[in-house]
Amino acid sequence: MELKPASTPKKERSEAAIKLEQSMRDLLEPGETLLGVTAASHQKSMFSGGVVNLAVTDRRLIIQPLDRRGRNVKGDAVSITQPEIDKASIGRSGGTDPSGILVSQVAIQVKIKTTGGEKYKFSMMDGQGNGLLGKLSGGESQLSTVQALRAFLGDTDAAAEI
Q: Return the domain boundaries, the chain.
A: 12-24+33-152
The two beta strands, 107-114 and 119-125, are antiparallel
Residue 93 sits at the vertex; the CA angle it makes with 38 and 143, to the nearest 5 degrees, is 35
pLDDT surpasses 80 at 150: yes
CA 32/CA 63 separation, integer angstroms: 16
Would you place residue 11 in the very low, low, confident or very high pLDDT band (cuts 50, 70, 90)?
A: very low
Note the pTM of the prediction, 2 decimals: 0.74
Would you place residue 162 in the very low, low, confident or very high pLDDT band (cuts 50, 70, 90)?
A: very low
Once rounded to an integer, what is the mean pLDDT over residues 124-151? Answer: 70
CA 151/CA 36 separation, integer angstroms: 11
Residues recorded for the chain:
162
Coil, strand or helix at 124: strand
Distance of CA 157 to the CA centre of its chain: 18
Give the percent of the chain with pLDDT over 90. 25
pLDDT surpasses 80 at 112: yes
Phi, psi (5° rounding) for residue 141? Answer: -60, -45
Q: Which of 86, 78, 42 is nearest to 61 (CA)?
A: 78
Condensed to tens digits (0 to 9), the pLDDT of residues 31-87 reads 999 998 888 888 877 777 788 889 999 999 999 988 888 777 877 789 999 999 999
Radius of gyration of the chain (CA): 16
Cα torsion angle, 132, 135, 136, 140, sign: positive
Domain 12-24+33-152: which CATH class?
mainly beta
